[in-house]
Amino acid sequence: MEKLTNPEINSWNDLIVRPTINVDDIEETVHEIFTEVSHKGDVAINKYTELFDGVQLSSMLVCESEIEEAIDSISDDLKAAIQLAKMNIETFHAAQKTATIKVVTQEGVECWQEKKPIQKVGLYIPGGSAPLFSTILMLTVPAKLAGCEEVVLCTPPNKEGKINPAILYTAQLCGVTKIVKVGGIQAIAGMTFGTETVPKVYKIFGPGNQFVTVAKQLATKYGVAIDMPAGPSELLVFADDSANEAFVASDLLSQAEHGTDSQVILVSTSEEMIGKVETELVAQLVQLPRKEIATKAIAHTKLIYFDEEQTALDFINAYGPEHFIIAAENETVFVNGIQNAGSVFIGNYTPESAGDYASGTNHTLPTNGYAKQYSGVNLDSFLKSMTFQKISAQGIQTIGNAIELMADAEGLFAHKNAVTIRLKSLENND
């Protein structure tokens, strides 16, 4: 952990750098796998599944009997918890629906906008030691509300060729179209190009390690959209003397246990609170089953003291955290002043874990400072806006001359003529 006191603004650029691997270090590997998958399809995917996941699969597709077995193996309590979370996520995202916007800009000129679902979407769900079945809820629920026709889920198998039962249960509960046992770069490549087994999709969603993040970015060069450049998880907490140090430490550790490259930061106007949280971090860390991972992540932790709340807020906006917890007496200052954050958690009794699972908001959020220009996943992420217009004879006569003048000024005669020919036709009919 690194403790800092009133760092100068000219040092902030260095402080907000995330502990990530240089893209150049992994880009060559991603390119190589993409090229091979584009040419060899399933053969290449199976090769890399054996190489990276240590398993040979007779079939990449999850069958009905595997899903039924998973349903039977999940406890009723966990099923109820997943169903509760699904209900809250549906409620929050359904409220984001908007009606068609229709206006008459001039007499006889009617314009409107409608939202249409992205027909084919791909979801990447990390597996391994932390199978993120909650991410299936966060992505499939809004996809279904939006009306996406095809929802393909890719997730890596374990060494027995199986998928975590909670992932399978949640996928079938939410109505996933196809579940494929493939992870990592090869999964993103499969959904980018399409193979004999993995369908090609129009947009890819979901978090992953830095290899997956680079693969998603490469997918955009082949005409596939992505949700955002979502990399390793991060959390920034602002806490003053009104905060509970045990709560703050538990929140920081909840993100640190995601991975060794996660980053957690505490910003405070209280040196006493920083000391208390530091003590709690040490005490709670040793109790965690994933303490080895969390310990490495905590090595990147910064505990930063500022004299003034406004300076602290300025730093937080410069950092642009994925998750931002406000545990402050003057919480309104931070609620009103935050400009750059993926998701905000307010008050001592609002842990970041609530947003990860069951409060209703989405947990697929921009990392690495991208909160300055990207939104987290929401209903609109699965929709695209289309504009329509219908112009009557009166309407083209109203705006026609303006169109002709503007087209002529740009030197585009055919544009002008498309209007002129219509206006002359109307004159001849009079």
Give the catalytic positions in this structure: 322-323
Annotated binding-site residue numbers: 124, 186, 209, 233, 255, 258, 323, 356, 410, 415
* Cα–Cα distance, 327 to 180 (Å, whole number): 42
Q: Which residues belong to the annotated binding site for NAD(+)? A: 124, 186, 209
- The binding site for substrate consists of 233, 255, 258, 323, 356, 410, 415
